[in-house]
Amino acid sequence: MKLLDVQNLRTTFHIEAGQVQAVRGISFHVNKGESIGIVGESGSGKSVSMLSLLKLLPSNAKLEADSVLFDGIELVKTDQKAMRKMLGNDIGMIFQDPMTSLNPLFTIGEQIMEPLRIHQKLSKEEARKKAIEILRTVEIPSPESRLKQYPHEFSGGMRQRVMIAIALSCSPKLLIADEPTTALDVTIQAQILDLMRDLRNKMDVSIVMITHDLGVIANMCNRIVVMYGGTIVEQGTTREIFYEPKHPYTWGLLRSIPQFSEGEKKKLISIPGSPPDLLRPPQGCAFTARCPHAMKICEKLPPQQISLSDTHQAACWLMHPKAAPHAKEVIS
């Protein structure tokens, strides 16, 4: 059952030089209780698309969509006031750098208790008890005394656990995590991902994980959405994306994940070139300039999404039924 259903979302930023088409008509959904990963390079539109549907963009941004349904509520028509109520209550967010998201002037306890008092109208004592309980859930030792400490007294990993605690404090239905482990070292990264996986199972919360690193979400997400140049180029189950990828950009992302097989040294291959300028987006496929398989049609016309299974779609001319035989060999 769908918790979030986004249809044809477009986001444009109006700047002096013109209009930056940051998100160019994306459609995806998140089922109840599942985790999806949105993956792509910087500037692919992954974070902007989530901030757009939560209406957290600056005033020069324009959001358009055919529909954004969250738990049966149409968010396109929801005003800022109702949206603010929903944020923190029904939808929790975790950002990349907990040090800049936490207020250094307030104790951890005050920052966890604030949403509980505002959204759930709990008394001070009730909010304190709930804050202790949630700190215990995110595996912070001695929560009673930690509650009185300030953010600088916590390590990077512990601060991210506090951010998760704040995001989960009001038992949201959806948790959006924007590069939650990028600022952490590898071992702490693994602990935070384990914790999020456990919490998803225990608390029955759906998770959208935004990342530039496919490797991070391999063991965490049920489905993966691959974004490039403000569009979705491929989406499918984690198995489909890792074992049957069909889009050349997804192939590039997979080749850039470190592999550690015994006795074997595999070279990491980066994707040459840089993402398109979305002030003047390409007429055809956004990946043309960097794609080793680009054909003449790729420059002229954007490829449409082609369904490969009930769960797997990709947008690439190589998969078109009329593509030349050599194209079929490339994708097989």
Residues that bind ligand SF4 (CB under 6 A): 247-248, 285, 287-288, 291, 293-295, 298, 303, 316-318
Q: How far is the CB of 297 from ligand SF4 (least distance, A)?
A: 7
Helix (H, G, I), strand (E, B) or coil at 211: strand
Gap between the Cα atoms of 216 and 182, Å rounded? 9
Distances (CA, A) of 165 to 92, 98, 143, 252, 270: 10, 12, 12, 35, 36
Are 10 and 20 within 8 A, CB to CB?
no
Q: Is the dihedral of CA 246, 248, 250, 252 positive or negative?
A: positive
Q: Which is nearer to ligand SF4, 112 or 295 (CB)?
A: 295
Q: How far is the CB of 235 from ligand SF4 (least distance, A)?
A: 15
Q: How far is the CB of 316 from ligand SF4 (least distance, A)?
A: 3
Buried b (16+ CB within 10 A) or exposed e, 231-264: bbbbbbbbebbeeebbbbbbbbbbeeeeeeeeee
Q: How far is the CB of 66 from ligand SF4 (least distance, A)?
A: 24
Are 39 and 234 within 8 A, CB to CB?
no
Q: How far is the CB of 180 from ligand SF4 (least distance, A)?
A: 29
In this structure, what are the phi and psi dihedrals at residue 104, rounded to the nearest 5 degrees? -65, -15
Q: Extract the tokens encoding 177.
A: 């995590």
Q: Which is nearer to ligand SF4, 255 or 293 (CB)?
A: 293
Q: How far is the CB of 234 from ligand SF4 (least distance, A)?
A: 10
Q: How far is the CB of 276 from ligand SF4 (least distance, A)?
A: 11
Q: Extract the tokens encoding 161.
A: 């656990």
Distances (CA, A) of 16 to 20, 60, 142: 10, 10, 52
Element (H, E) at 30: strand 18-31
Q: Which is nearer to ligand SF4, 207 or 285 (CB)?
A: 285
Q: Which is nearer to ligand SF4, 220 or 226 (CB)?
A: 226
CA angle at 201 for the pair 103 and 123, rounded to the nearest 5°: 45
Q: Which is nearer to ligand SF4, 112 or 318 (CB)?
A: 318
Q: Which is nearer to ligand SF4, 266 or 326 (CB)?
A: 326
Are 266 and 247 within 8 A, CB to CB?
no
Q: How far is the CB of 228 from ligand SF4 (least distance, A)?
A: 9
For residue 211, the one-letter residue type is T
Q: Which is nearer to ligand SF4, 217 or 285 (CB)?
A: 285
Gap between the Cα atoms of 25 and 191, Å rounded? 35
Q: Which is nearer to ligand SF4, 157 or 303 (CB)?
A: 303
